[in-house]
């Protein structure tokens, strides 16, 4: 049963989150819908395979430890199952109404919810939860700042300077490639 629920969550995340990942590229005309979906499939698979385990570990143990349910491990299993079922319903409902949502936020909310029902909220790792919630607020701000800086730089150095783009664009490609390879090496080592 857990496999079916996990597959359905993945289906919902594909329907909702992949649209977020390729929406700007397809919307701007940089890539076709077909090519965007192919690229998304490749890189979503690679991201999940290479780095998804760290987030899974956080969701599995950092918010609330299964050790707090050692006397009744079935309660922890039921809580996680309820979390996944809730995520399926919310993600598919939000996708149906074209609302871009975060599956991670949904799942973390579900974990905290079952901890409250089990009178285990005191066992929630509040510092880890606070850091996660803080990241939800910081992510759009950091994204906006980096986007502003990158757009401003490209606009000033490329669009306003004409031929300079022949020098600048390869540097951006190189920097992007270096960052991606560096992250992959960091997570693989």
Which whole number is the average pLDDT over 178-182?
64
pLDDT at 21: 75
Looking at the predicted structure, is the pLDDT value of residue 154 above 70? yes
pLDDT at 179: 67
CB contact at 8 A, 51 and 187:
yes
Name the DSSP class of 61: I
Name the DSSP class of 159: I
Kindly provide the b/e burial profile for residues 118-140, where b requires at least 16 CB atoms within 10 angstroms of the residue's own CB: bebeeebeeeebeebeeeeeeee
pLDDT at 160: 75
The predicted model scores a pTM of 0.74
pLDDT at 156: 81
């Amino acid at each position: 049963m857990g496999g079916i629920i996990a597959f359905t969550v993945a289906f919902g995340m594909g329907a909702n989150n992949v649209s977020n990942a390729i929406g700007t590229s397809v919307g701007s005309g940089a890539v076709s819908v077909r090519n965007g979906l192919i690229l998304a499939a490749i890189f979503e698979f690679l991201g999940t395979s290479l780095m998804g385990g760290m987030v899974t570990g956080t969701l599995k143990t950092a918010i609330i430890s299964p050790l707090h349910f050692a006397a009744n491990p079935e309660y922890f299993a039921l809580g996680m199952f309820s979390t996944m079922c809730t995520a399926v319903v919310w993600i598919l409902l939000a996708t149906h109404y074209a609302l871009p949502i975060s599956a991670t936020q949904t799942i973390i909310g579900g974990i905290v919810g079952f901890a409250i029902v089990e009178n285990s909220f005191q066992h929630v790792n509040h510092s880890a939860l606070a850091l996660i919630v803080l990241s939800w607020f910081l992510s759009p701000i950091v994204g906006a700042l980096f986007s502003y800086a990158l757009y401003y730089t490209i606009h000033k150095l490329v669009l306003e300077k004409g031929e300079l783009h022949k020098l600048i664009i390869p540097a951006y490609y190189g920097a992007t490639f270096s960052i991606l390879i560096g992250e992959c090496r960091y997570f693989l080592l």
